[in-house]
A and B are shown apart, each in its own frame.
Chain A
């Protein structure tokens, strides 16, 4: 919103501080000033000059060398391209150093070899017209040397552009009068309130005893809170006076005609929108305010057909809607140059309903923007009288017919809000020493009345602040704090008890997982969107399942909550395979499932992926997974796919699972993860050539659990370790784990471990050389003990079908 300081000065004496000081104080106390523009500064330096002579530029046909005076003794020369140069005319001259509204800064320069000291200006260059031809001719009696500001009886002005969002909660600041009160409180200058009772009584003398030609009727419940109507006759629609146009322009509005301009002016001054009808275009003798009972198409002032729905509030005559309540008038009944008689509407509307309709229509007008902040119905009358005052000033022949017509609630029933507070409480919450005198002066400057009762105050909130902004004590504290300035509060550490804090188990685990995956897994952490689309799911051949779906997504690419990290991870693979032949990454992210009871269930998963175009990374990732889980003090078991016990992390019906490269991870008896390679068929769809292995693990396991470190010290061995190697023959498809599992059947207290020493393949057979480690902690093993252990091991492998070579 644009605010004119000149306009503010109608109501309070803003001190003559640099613009920067004004806006920074305002920003700190009230609302953010986004921009400051000074207007008219250039006009102060541009003066009336008289042309004495001119000659052709020696080097350019179209340019003249003009000699002129700005006083009897000060004669200057400029190069000028205008074709209306005449000896004796008076024209505006901008000397060096002036910055014109179009941004041009006048500097001494040579134009085709001739020095030019400034510029003779056109209307366009002065900022008076969008486009103009030639230099501006002033009247012949324009005093030579007089500046343009004086000559045009204009004032310099500073315009503040205030962030609308920071005024969301301040309906009272949507007009200059309310802003002036704020400035008065900030700069400690009194408010000049001309809108007194006497002023109102004076204006009401224009009312007549005639019956109003247009009555007001509220038909049932609607958006209306209060509706005032007033009829005037014999208005003369014409151009607005210069002062009115200047102010509207300063605030970003275009002048239309004097009547429309008055309605905008009053809105910008008092913050309450109003509407003026051409009364002769109202059919019948009343306006009816009601909610629509059928869909209607309505052409608003901006000549757009709007589709109105059942329930929208409109102001209608006998033929149909005239105004869309609180938002915009209709094209048909607006004021035109032919208008003679008018009907003025000043009303207040329910904020939520105005907002709902305007949001639906995508039509946010100056009017709806204000009503949706919740305005004060008590301000309607003042707004009406100010409108009347201005119309009478601009059209002295206009006459009121009848008096105020009213529909709506009894405004005297609006309760007055009183809030109890105390100096001590305000001091405590702000953490600031504050005198009672200062406190009261701030309340009074903001129009809050106070009654003292022992150490407490009862503060009466003005009606225009209590529509929703000020409700309770904390709101009062804010008023004091912001006017004092938060800069004046000294930072202090609170006096508080000390309590230990620590990360939760899940948070610690997440950090350890990240560290492990980065340092040991040599992987990069990625973060992908939790929102995915059906296209991606199809692309990954993800089995059909119901994913949680947004109703108002921005695109179909991102309208589902991912049921698993796998599709996201595969998308990352797809994206990166174009640039890299091998890469590793991981993500700690959430998967989202439907939940009958709580609507949704979110679980935190680790997904790590190794991709390699040539070398199968399965074993590498298995190693990382095993070591990671072991380092977390879990004892992971790797088991083969089992259709009886479904692993919730990897749906068994998904065709993306590799037939051989798959291991479920069981932790504490539960399936909590898996390591698997992605089936080439799915990889083909993703245009990935090579191997993709995924390690998925459910970290939600740690939400209420911490795995203990079970490490225990044991005395160092006193007796020698003995090893025994033997080689067995196995089928080509046999796995090392199958051979080792056979050895697990041997229960001997001396048997520590059996591992693979060597493997070689020949003639469709595999030869595994095994090494068993034997130790007795209590004594040196006898050869008999060793012998029987060896034969037990060989028997065990043979029994499992792996004969001794």
Chain B
């Protein structure tokens, strides 16, 4: 392990993102029109067009401080003898995951017609993640005393899909507004490598690894051809000349409600991304096998030299490669749920100074390994007609969190920027979080019609 390795891993950590949310900030900002993507019931009272809003969400359920420790004026790794096994274990999770997503809103067009509001949207979204089970680190730190190792949770994957959205909201009376959005989803690219089974038993008699792995890779653009033994060769890619053609299709729904029981008090709740995609993986592969290492087998005394030992390691390596080789299997379809999110909030604009709003928000984001929740208290103020600013502080799955956002109007243009982060700090000269963290960045531009 060296510095570049850590930095690459950390860069990956900071790059992976997932379904983004800025509800806590957007809900309190008066002029953030794209809040409808977080709660379809909340819409402005006039038309708008938004172009190019970018949201990125980075989530890591362990931070760099789980792997790096200050020690006598220098920084050591978790495998340094000064770091106890207990301390190392306390900093890790059963599955250590780095997940993320990017949501890029190419265009959003909102039309206000009396009590009705219509939204049309086109988004490009990506989700991806890496997961590493605790048992790998446990083995490196403690050794073979604790067996078996369960590495089934190891995996990585990435998906990219397009979203065509129609949203409708309607005011019911003076106090209630409801909304829903239907999303047609078109899968563009998808790839993941995961394990149904990955166990390693360690013992003085043998080390045995049982592997059942699956590769799912969409094939619209490229086809991986198997060799004569039916093994997928990642170097044997052939373009099909259909770049960007769908590899999957799906549907998702958002629901939201906004209620104003009394003047200045707003309650809101929503659930988004209920649905999923049916992917077609034309480049499917499976690897399975059992690797067993019982030491040398009937090695001749005369082979007990450098060449002989090299042969043993080569044999073991070949055996391992054989077990993880991806055998081509028939293309398959697979339905995959989106990562749904639930938002709720209440806000109150001060009667004595209506430019000041306080509120409480809460949310839950589903993820297999990194489910996330937080609850925040926020304030927002628009001291000037062209400036709207908010900030919040709260507590969530990874400890104390904070958020900030601003909306600046220039003529009819509104520039929005929001950020959510934790307090754990970062590695110096980088944005790599030291602790488990959920970081969201949103930047967008809207135009009032």
Do A and B actually bind?
Answer: no
